[in-house]
Amino acid sequence: MTPFTVAASITKVEFSQKLKQACNKNDSLLCIGLDPNPNLMPEDIGVFEFNRQIIEATSDLVIGYKLNFAFYEALGDDGWKVMKKTVEAIPEGLLSIADAKRADVPNSATFYARAIFSLGFDSLTVNPYLGQDSIEPFTSYKEKGTFLLCRTSNPGSRDIQEIKTPEGKLFEFIARKAGEWNKYGNIGLVCGATCPEDLELVRQIQPDMPILVPGVGAQGGDLKLTLRYGLNKEGQGLIITSSRQVIYASREKNFALKARQVAANLRESINGIRYSRNR
């Protein structure tokens, strides 16, 4: 199968339904980022085998897995094959997120969407800077999720995302636009755990929209505030991603077991905080 062939096995379950089912499946909001850096991985192991063992060790603890395209594109031609095999290794009922941050004019965006979804991903990240017509080629896959970059976790994000507009700061404007563009109910937002007060504003603007939250773990995001400000009224609505903290817990042969231990502790911490709201 080439990257431009639409996968025949695409499910027609709505993304919002699949997200809720994934959360309930393992009672989890945790998403593991599979970002394979050979300099941090155990020696003498291939990228797919590394991913496979991480998935096998943690699939009962998570809502899904996020693959950052940069790490796979750096592998050259093999990167696409590894991504496809990794997505196929994710158990049924869990989410797969392509962290691709794509954006382009509609004609090009159409092919970006076709290429990424042909790999079997349930959802992807998109840069909204080019406007609505650049988003539609992705959201037109009604059963797939499209997460718009809104308030990212890197320190330099404030250079652009805090620019003031007549409708508040730029990230607030994006959050409102996401609601206007969400005609199929499959749009979500990306908002980092490193700026929890801004996450609170985003949740106020979009009470029910799913939010993908990077920045917990190595980037120092505040988990407690993230959950306090980001959960929806059902105690869900967040996909909290952790990459380096989990997958590089060890460089020894027991790396998958160590990853499981970190993931289990993180899931326990998340659930302990979110369920304490009702006590």
User: 3-class secondary structure for 112-151?
Assistant: HHHHHHCCCCCEEEECHHHCHHHHHHHHCCCCCEEEEEEE
Q: How far apart are the two ends of the chain, measured CA to CA in Å?
A: 51
* 3 token code pair: 């990257």
User: d(Cα 210, Cα 187) in Å, to the nearest integer?
Assistant: 8
* Contact (Cβ atoms closer than 8 angstroms) between residue 12 and residue 45: no
* Contact (Cβ atoms closer than 8 angstroms) between residue 266 and residue 246: yes
User: d(Cα 203, Cα 14) in Å, to the nearest integer?
Assistant: 22
* CB proximity list for 132: less than 8 A, separation 6 or greater: 177, 181
Range list of β-strands (E), 137-273: 145-151, 164-165, 168-169, 187-191, 211-213, 238-242
Q: Is 169 a catalytic residue?
A: no
Residue tagged 């196929």 (tokens): 88
User: d(Cα 264, Cα 103) in Å, to the nearest integer?
Assistant: 35
User: d(Cα 15, Cα 144) in Å, to the nearest integer?
Assistant: 5
Count how many Cα atoms sit within 13 Å of the Cα of residue 51 in the half-sphere of its side chain: 28
Active-site option among 101, 142, 144, 253: 101
* CB proximity list for 254: less than 8 A, separation 6 or greater: none
Which sequence positions are flagged as catalytic? 101
